[in-house]
Amino acid sequence: MVDLVSMVASSFPTDRRTYDSVLMLSNSTRKIRMVAEVIPKGIEFSVLSSQSRVIESLNETNIAATMIEENLSSMGLFILTQLHDLILQAIGEGRISRGERILVVLAEPVDGVFSIDTTMLNANRFANLAQEVGIELEVLTKSMELARHIASRGREGHSIGAIFAIGPLPILRKHSTAMVLNPFKGHNSDKRSILIKDNHETFAEFAWLDGAVFFNKEGIASDAGRYIQVPSGISTKSGEGGRHLASRAISQLGECLAICVSSSGSITLYVNGRDRYKVKMI
């Protein structure tokens, strides 16, 4: 039987800092707490789990936890191939910095530890998606950062949803109609740039409005409260609501990238009518 705690403890000699952070994949709260006890102070520790009960139990601690769509328990050894994508997603979302040395702890479905140097990762799912729609990677990563902020925070204690579309504005406007006066009109680009984190709270407030928020390919907000016109040929899929349908439609019609934040806390990224990335916040 693998002694996972001893393996983690032995990865941190007392004479030097060997890793910048620890990422653990587990559906066992007990194992997570045991591993957390042997990680040196100052080393960032985060958890990925596919069980909501695990996330909820960790909310009372200082351990950062994120829900993932994939069921860890049923993945078997396929988790080893998925690990690469999971790390790249974390880099793309800004949760891990490129250049970090990460100790990955697997406690589901198999036990083990892996050392990952992120400078050696030469592919990035987000980079490929950004290139596909002709936007800068930073615009996409900042958009996902905003989406995560909205999904985890809500507004005045209530969960909210949002739609962001990033692409050519003339086409986006062609397939939508204004529901409110445009709140971005007349403001300079610095106040409307998604690349500036200080603007994210403003965008989060406008997400409370019905309709979508549009950004150009440089990440400059142009419109809010846009109602997306979904043609009759595009219908809902199983488990989708109206917000997901609108996001999928505008990504196809507007030749853009669309991000849907649902009121349940899930974030779905659409390109060309297809969902290409999904994560759930608890």
Residue extent(s) of CATH 3.40.1700.10 domains in the chain: 125-280
Note whether 67 and 49 are within 8 A (CB).
yes
- Buried b vs exposed e over 141-151: b needs ≥16 C-beta within 10 Å? bbbbbbbbbbb
Higher pLDDT, 121 or 62: 62
Token pair 């004479």 in the structure block, residue: 15
Q: Which CATH superfamily is domain 4-120 in?
A: Pyruvate kinase, C-terminal domain (3.40.1380.20)
Higher pLDDT, 151 or 185: 185
Residue extent(s) of CATH 3.40.1380.20 domains in the chain: 4-120
Residue 20, burial from CB neighbour count under 10 angstroms (0-12, 13-18, 19+) = middle
Q: What pLDDT score does 122 carry?
A: 47
pTM of the model: 0.63
27: DSSP letter: S
- For domain 125-280, give the CATH number: 3.40.1700.10
Task: Read off φ and ψ for residue 123, nearest 5 degrees.
Answer: -135, 155
Q: How confident is the model at residue 281 (pLDDT cuts 50, 70, 90)?
A: low
Q: How confident is the model at residue 253 (pLDDT cuts 50, 70, 90)?
A: very high
